[in-house]
Amino acid sequence: MKQDLKENNQIEEKKTLNIKKIITLVMILLLICAIIWTSVEYIMNEQFRENMDKYLFMKEIQEDETKSIIIENENNSFVCVYDRYIGILSNNVLNVYNRYAKKEMEISLTITNPVFESNNSYLAVGEKNGKKFYMIKGKDMIWQADVDGQISKITVNRNGYVAISMIQTSNKAAVVVYNPEGKELFKTHLSNTYAIDTDISNDNKYLTIGEVNITGTTIQSNIKIISFDKVQNDSENAIIYNQQSDTGKLIISLKYCDDGSLMCMYDSEITMISDGNESKVVEYDNDTLFANINMNKKIVEISSSQDVNNADSIVKIIDVNNKDEKNYTISDIPRELLVNGNKITVNTGMYAYFINSYGMLIKKYISKQEIKEIVMGDYIAAIVYKNKVNIIEL
């Protein structure tokens, strides 16, 4: 009798345990289904995603919730961003702050009207239409130079190689290239053209120059690629690519991709040079407001909505390889598009949208006053006002 009772209790315990297991399994399955449904809705349903970003993920940031740097000289200050630092140049001194708005150092620069260019941990600073040039890495000024022309543009690649475009005597243009230690590698002269943009490949092997000849009655752009190695060892054949574009096309910017292909942005289209061949990737239409080629193998474009009843703008991230397109809609008119690495910034005046390469919102900054300018780096962005700089961590 006692044995039967014990067996019945064990059976009941097993039943209770099995029921608990089933309930637990059902709850896990329901949770998985809820996660899948939420993920799908987040990706596919724009209004749902907007509410989640705002109320659950708290991606909206108010102006007074950020750390600020006070600009003491409101009429003569210039802001730059590099690495994890923000620099404010005023009265020949570059004050460098960290992401917590704490001053880290001061660097003396004989610069009054700067040209800034940053990449990775490098910051290049030149005097616009002057000769002074400085290279900064992290907290140190690693070299400086006086060039023999008037600086118009600077390019620095991720490894610290620098190309300085300048105008020399008799209005002749030239581009000079330095290595990360400040040694001049070579200089190329442009006889009848001006360098609109330059870029150095990520493997430090090639310099590309986007030139424009404006001596005639029409615009004539030209793309020239120079081999670093051949400049040193076979100078007569150093130019490995030299191609004129169609008459009337204006080259605007150049960008090397990680695989060595070259993106070329014109005023009417974007092309790609790969293995010595140039092919069209995107052609602008009447709705195109902004375009940018700074994201690796992707084109960022902002177009106005085709619906005349709203003022939406659509941020498009287009994959060059498979033409896959990710979109993010902004209910406003953009004033500025910035791209750095895999992050996008759209400035609408009172709002700043920070978006990733998948078309998802990283943060939305809400301002109480007109934003003067946004300067973007790999890790932080500077929201510039007349009397202060607000810091956004990306």
11/68 same-domain check:
no
Residue 277 lies in a domain: no
Residue 239 lies in a domain: no
pLDDT above 80 for 15: no
Residue 163 lies in a domain: no
Q: Are 330 and 348 in contact (CB under 8 A)?
A: yes
Residue 378 lies in a domain: yes
Residue 328 lies in a domain: yes
Alpha-carbon span 154 to 253, nearest angstrom: 12
364/310 same-domain check:
yes
- From the number of C-beta atoms within 10 Å of its C-beta (0-12, 13-18, 19+), residue 157 rates as buried
CATH of the domain at 392: 2.40.10.480
The pair of three-digit structure tokens given for residue 240, joined into one six-digit string: 């490995």
6/66 same-domain check:
no
pLDDT digits (tens, 9 = 90+) for 249-261: 999 999 999 999 9
DSSP label at residue 191: S
Q: Are 383 and 349 in contact (CB under 8 A)?
A: no
Q: Are 392 and 89 in contact (CB under 8 A)?
A: no
Task: Give the domain range for residue 55.
Answer: 45-73+284-394
Residue 99 lies in a domain: no
Q: Are strands 298-304 and 288-292 parallel, antiparallel or unpaired?
A: antiparallel
The pair of three-digit structure tokens given for residue 320, joined into one six-digit string: 């060059």
The pair of three-digit structure tokens given for residue 330, joined into one six-digit string: 């902004």
pTM: 0.86
The pair of three-digit structure tokens given for residue 218, joined into one six-digit string: 């029409």
Say how many domains are in the chain. Answer: 2
Alpha-carbon span 79 to 211, nearest angstrom: 28
344/382 same-domain check:
yes
Q: Which sign, positive or negative, has the C-alpha torsion 353, 357, 359, 360?
A: negative
300/360 same-domain check:
yes
Q: Are 118 and 151 in contact (CB under 8 A)?
A: no
Q: What is the average pLDDT score of the chain?
A: 90
Question: HSE (CB half, 13 Å, CA atoms) of 180?
Answer: 10
Residue 361 phi/psi, 5-degree rounding, is: -70, 130
pLDDT above 80 for 55: no
327/362 same-domain check:
yes
Check residue 327 and give its pLDDT.
Answer: 93
6/69 same-domain check:
no
Check residue 40 and give its pLDDT.
Answer: 64
Residue 196 lies in a domain: no
The pair of three-digit structure tokens given for residue 254, joined into one six-digit string: 């150049």
* DSSP H helices in the chain: 2-44, 46-51, 228-233
Count of C-beta atoms within a 10 Å radius of residue 56: 10
Check residue 192 and give its pLDDT.
Answer: 84
Nearest one of 245, 242, 254 to 221, comparing CA atoms: 245
Residue 95 lies in a domain: no
Alpha-carbon span 235 to 228, nearest angstrom: 9
pLDDT digits (tens, 9 = 90+) for 220-234: 999 999 999 999 888
19/53 same-domain check:
no
Count of C-beta atoms within a 10 Å radius of residue 71: 19
49/39 same-domain check:
no
- Cα–Cα distance list, 262 to 208, 240, 276, 308, 372 (Å): 9, 14, 10, 36, 32
321/382 same-domain check:
yes
Check residue 14 and give its pLDDT.
Answer: 59
40/61 same-domain check:
no
Res. 385 pLDDT band, cuts 50 70 90: very high
8/60 same-domain check:
no
